[in-house]
């Protein structure tokens, strides 16, 4: 299978280079338009914070990996990126890499199931741009099936593997229901934003953001449909929150033990959770000595992360087994798209229909006419299949590209429901 793929990712390039090659959805659509103009017949472009990848069936035999790399780099005018920053794949390797991405085992965070959605979105864009032909649609389906199986059949995505997520999961263990709880996130940087998003996903009743730079807090609050507090005022409101997550880059303690004691008195000592995920710490660790205060810092959270990461790593062989099974299944289908087996399948398909109908109606004919019925119906089938059979034989002899031949044969199989009938029989 002539499927090319290139990837720049967390294994091959530092974050600044990955960022320089990141493509927005608008840029992806624009790049697809350019790729369709003589470079690729069909394909897929995937771009996330940790990877930018291009998959495609070449428009002609001159295509190679350096040309694909140049195509992407020049489009972004990013001269710092070199060939060493790319991984290159072809045929089964390309497909296996895509499956590894879709299942999350090639992610920076092993088992990150967000990438499954990102792959799905990339497929959707490809289809909307008419960049997904017969073959790529089958590739899409196979990759998504592998990703879904990994999520449902293994524990590869279970347990928190980021400190922000671990903090929120721990909060859920303390407060089983967050729908009546309020939370304050101190810090509107990447970690604070991730923690805030996780709280929203878990159904937090009220979320407030504060940050040393007011504009940044306000922008994040608007983005997350929450409220914000000015930084110089948040201490006066600590008692209003059941959960406080702090993730700033401050050099000194922001919330002292006295601040927490004062807040707890105003709360009449209703339970409060303090999650300090900053380095250095934002909250005085002695706060954990106060009754009904549940305090955790980055060290205790990292223990949870490492335990969960170890569990996910242990699931990788199970996911790889799923990938291998789906690869074998895909190439079993792909290899069936040859002239000879398709001609046989087509004839078997029509012969089965003919035999079934003859058997249903055989008693309507006299004994002497039954032989004639066999002869006449077989002649009809032969005449119907003469032209398709001739054309199928021409496909491999015509010198057209292998992918074109496979596409034509695949369409014939699809039109007559050959593969569908086969899968139906297997299910029975």
3-state secondary structure labels for all residues of the chain: CCCEEEEEECCCCCHHHHHHCCCCHHHHHHHHHHHCCCCEEEEEEEECCCEEEEEEEECCCCCCHHHHHHHHHHHHCCCCCCHHHCEEEECHHHHHHHHHHHHCCCCCCCCCCHHHHHHHHHHHHHHHCCCCCHHHHHHHHHHHHHHHHHHHHCCCCCCCCCHHHHHHHHHHHHCCCCCCCEEEEECCCHHHHHHHHHHHHCCCCEEEEEECCHHHHHHHHHHCCCEEEECCCHHHHHHHCCEEEECCCCCCCCECHHHHHHHHHHCCCCCEEEEECCCCCCECHHHHHCCCEEEEEHHHHHHHHHHHHHHHHHHHHHHHHHHHHHHHHHHHHHHCCCHHHHHHHHHHHHHHHHHHHHHHHHHHCCHHHHHHHHHHHHHHHHHHHHHHHHHHHHHHHCCCCHHHHHHHHHHHHHHCCHHHHHHHHHHC
The pLDDT of residue 367: 84
Mean pLDDT value of segment 231-254: 94
The pLDDT of residue 333: 82
Structure-token pair, residue 212:
């040393």
Q: 254 pLDDT exceeds 60?
A: yes
pLDDT band of 30, cuts 50, 70, 90? very high
Mean pLDDT value of segment 28-49: 94
Q: 385 pLDDT exceeds 60?
A: yes
pLDDT band of 371, cuts 50, 70, 90? confident
231 contacts: CB under 8 Å, gap ≥ 6:
210, 211, 212, 214, 217
Q: Beta 227-230 vs 272-276: how paired, if at all? A: unpaired
On average, the pLDDT of the chain sits at 89
Q: Using one digit for the tens of pLDDT, what is the confidence trace for 116-134?
A: 999 999 999 999 999 998 8
pLDDT band of 428, cuts 50, 70, 90? very low
Q: Using one digit for the tens of pLDDT, what is the confidence trace for 139-148?
A: 999 999 999 9
Q: 2 pLDDT exceeds 90?
A: no
pLDDT band of 249, cuts 50, 70, 90? confident
What separation in angstroms does the CA of 349 have from each of 57, 197, 339, 385, 395? 31, 54, 15, 11, 20
Mean pLDDT value of segment 92-98: 96
Q: Using one digit for the tens of pLDDT, what is the confidence trace for 177-222?
A: 999 999 999 999 989 999 999 999 999 999 999 999 999 999 999 9
Please report, rounded to a whole number, the percentage of residues in the chain having pLDDT higher than 90. 64
The pLDDT of residue 143: 96
Would you name the residues annotated as active-site residues?
49
Contact criterion met (CB below 8 Å) for 83 and 69: yes
Q: Using one digit for the tens of pLDDT, what is the confidence trace for 101-111?
A: 999 999 988 99
The pLDDT of residue 408: 74
Q: 4-157 has which fold?
A: Beta Polymerase; domain 2 (3.30.460)
The pLDDT of residue 414: 77
- Mean pLDDT comparison of 114-118, 124-128, 296-300, 367-371, highest-scoring range: 124-128
What are the contacts of 63-70 at 24+ separation with CB within 8 A?
63/4, 63/39, 65/4, 65/6, 65/90, 67/39, 68/4, 68/6, 68/39, 69/6
Q: 342 pLDDT exceeds 90?
A: no
Which carries the bigger pLDDT value, residue 410 or residue 112?
A: 112
pLDDT band of 404, cuts 50, 70, 90? low
Q: Which CATH class is domain 163-304?
A: alpha beta
| Among 391, 325, 189, residue whose Cα is nearest residue 197 | 189
Q: 161 pLDDT exceeds 80?
A: yes
pLDDT band of 420, cuts 50, 70, 90? low
pLDDT band of 274, cuts 50, 70, 90? very high
Q: Where are the domains of the chain?
A: 4-157, 163-304, 334-419
């Amino acid at each position: 299978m002539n499927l090319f793929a290139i990837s720049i990712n967390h294994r091959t390039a530092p974050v600044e280079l990955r960022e320089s090659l990141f493509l927005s959805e608008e840029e992806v659509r624009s790049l697809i338009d350019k790729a369709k103009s003589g470079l690729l017949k069909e394909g897929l472009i995937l771009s996330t914070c940790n990877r930018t990848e291009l998959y495609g069936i070449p428009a002609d035999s001159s295509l190679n990996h350096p040309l694909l790399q140049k195509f992407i780099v020049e489009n972004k005018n990013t001269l710092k990126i070199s060939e060493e920053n790319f991984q290159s794949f072809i045929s089964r390797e390309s497909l296996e890499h895509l499956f590894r991405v879709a299942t999350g085992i090639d992610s920076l965070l092993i088992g990150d199931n967000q990438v499954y959605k990102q792959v799905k979105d990339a497929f959707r864009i490809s289809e909307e741009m008419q960049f997904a032909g017969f073959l790529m649609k089958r590739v899409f389906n196979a990759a998504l099936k592998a990703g879904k199986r990994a999520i449902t059949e293994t524990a590869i995505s279970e347990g928190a593997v980021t400190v922000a997520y671990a903090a929120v999961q721990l909060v859920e263990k303390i407060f089983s229901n967050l729908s009546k709880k309020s939370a304050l996130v101190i810090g509107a940087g990447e970690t604070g934003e991730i923690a805030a998003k996780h709280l929203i996903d878990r159904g937090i009743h009220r979320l407030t953001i504060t940050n040393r730079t007011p504009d940044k807090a306000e922008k994040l609050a608007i983005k997350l449909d929450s409220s914000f507090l000015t930084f110089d005022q948040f201490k006066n409101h600590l008692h209003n929150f059941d959960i406080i997550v702090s993730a700033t880059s401050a050099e000194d303690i922001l919330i002292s033990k006295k601040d927490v004691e004062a807040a707890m008195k105003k709360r009449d000592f209703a339970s409060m959770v303090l999650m300090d995920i900053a380095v250095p710490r934002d909250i005085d660790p002695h706060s954990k000595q106060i009754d009904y205060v549940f305090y955790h810092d980055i060290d205790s959270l990292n223990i949870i992360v490492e335990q969960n990461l170890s569990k996910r790593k242990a699931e990788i062989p199970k996911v790889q087994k799923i990938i291998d099974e789906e690869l074998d299944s895909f190439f079993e289908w792909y290899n069936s798209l040859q002239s000879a087996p398709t001609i046989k399948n087509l004839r078997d398909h029509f012969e089965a229909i003919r035999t079934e109908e003859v058997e249903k109606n055989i008693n309507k004919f006299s004994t002497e006419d039954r032989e004639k019925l066999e002869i006449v119906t077989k002649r009809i089938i032969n005449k119907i299949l003469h032209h398709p059979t001739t054309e199928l034989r021409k496909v491999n002899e015509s010198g057209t590209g292998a992918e074109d031949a496979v596409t034509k044969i695949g369409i014939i199989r699809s039109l007559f429901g050959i593969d569908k009938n086969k899968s139906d029989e297997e299910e029975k």
